Chains A and B, each alone.
Chain A
Amino acid sequence: MSGLMQLLSSHGIPQILIIKGAFYSIAALVCLFAILVVASPNIFHSAIYLAAVLIGVACVYLFLDAEFLAVVQVLIYVGAILTLLIFAIMLTADIRSKTPRQTLRRILISAFAALAALYAFINIIHKNPWRSAVTPPATAFSLAQLGKSLMLNYILPFEIISLVVLAALVGAIAIAKTERR
């Protein structure tokens, strides 16, 4: 990554332009694949597009100085949750068959609701004077600091979340197991 950046910089392209170009192309790809996730008629293809979206979001985390979260995103989402989704699709649906077409009326109403929400969000974002416009961003937050705050400041939520995950695992096994008669 840095080697590529040096190569491009040596050809007269400034580094800030490379970073900006990378971010906006990744953002556009993420939006495109997200639309494909919800619009694809085949549920299996949706799962593959979702993998692309999740990896793209991990790249966005890299732009926000959150390297650990980017790695966790790829490991947990793409490695675990997506595998689980694909397993569930294969267990429940005949993936060769087309899912039924959705009625146009619901699509129109849903698109209206989603676009209204998007309009409201962008309106709020544009009205607010964000701090980044006036002051430079604070110093990067390091992985060591993250570990310290997780183990010192937020130890109780951390332990509770591990209990929640354990309960979810036990509950999932209890729900999905076949009953012996």
Chain B
Amino acid sequence: MIPQSHFLILSAVIFSIGIFGVLTRRNVIGILMSIELILNAANINLITFNKFLGTPDGLGQVFALFVIAIAAASAVVGLALVIAVYRNSKSILINKINLMKW
């Protein structure tokens, strides 16, 4: 079947693309999307190791479920913050948001 390293390489590629997105995007929502990519890469890794190491209680899959829940919570809070900031400063570009700078 497909070797373990190929799943890991796929995960590394998605992770790097997510890092690139976090660094280059100016839109806060774009940064949130890139963070979702990074979390997905982590999930692929967890499930890969769960399959190939064969843990008896499925720790990898349980942790992947927790990661999905945390991702949902972070997206909800992040988007609420985006909407609150947009209402104040009429912009969601990160170089325009200097509300907490002195």
Contact = CB atoms under 8 A, between A and B. Distances in A.
A73 B68 contact: yes
Given A37-B33, A50-B33, A141 B24 contact: no
A34 B79 CA distance: 21
B30 A81 contact: no
A153 B57 contact: yes
Contacts of A5: none
Interface residues of A, number: 85
A139 B19 contact: no
Interface in B32-62: 32-34, 36-37, 40, 43-44, 47-48, 50-54, 57-59, 61-62
Contacts of B64: 66, 69
Contacts of B98: none
Contacts of A88: 29, 79, 82-83
Given A38-B24, A92-B86, A121-B16, A77 B50 contact: no
Contacts of B87: 178
Nearest to A164: B73
B52 A132 contact: yes
Given A91-B83, A92-B29, A171 B51 contact: no
Contacts of A169: 76
B12 to A, nearest CB: 4
Interface of B: 1-10, 12-21, 23-27, 29-30, 32-34, 36-37, 40, 43-44, 47-48, 50-54, 57-59, 61-62, 64-66, 68-77, 79-84, 86-87, 92-93
Ranked nearest first, the 5 interchain pairs of A and B with the lowest CB-CB distance are A138-B54, A38-B21, A110-B23, A168-B73, A121-B12
24 contacts: A34-B18, A37-B37, A43-B30, A47-B33, A50-B33, A57-B40, A61-B47, A63-B7, A72-B65, A81-B72, A81-B75, A88-B79, A106-B23, A110-B19, A113-B20, A114-B19, A125-B9, A126-B5, A130-B52, A145-B57, A164-B69, A171-B80, A173-B80, A175-B84
Given A73-B68, A125-B8, A149-B62, 4 more contacts: A31-B13, A34-B37, A37-B34, A178-B87
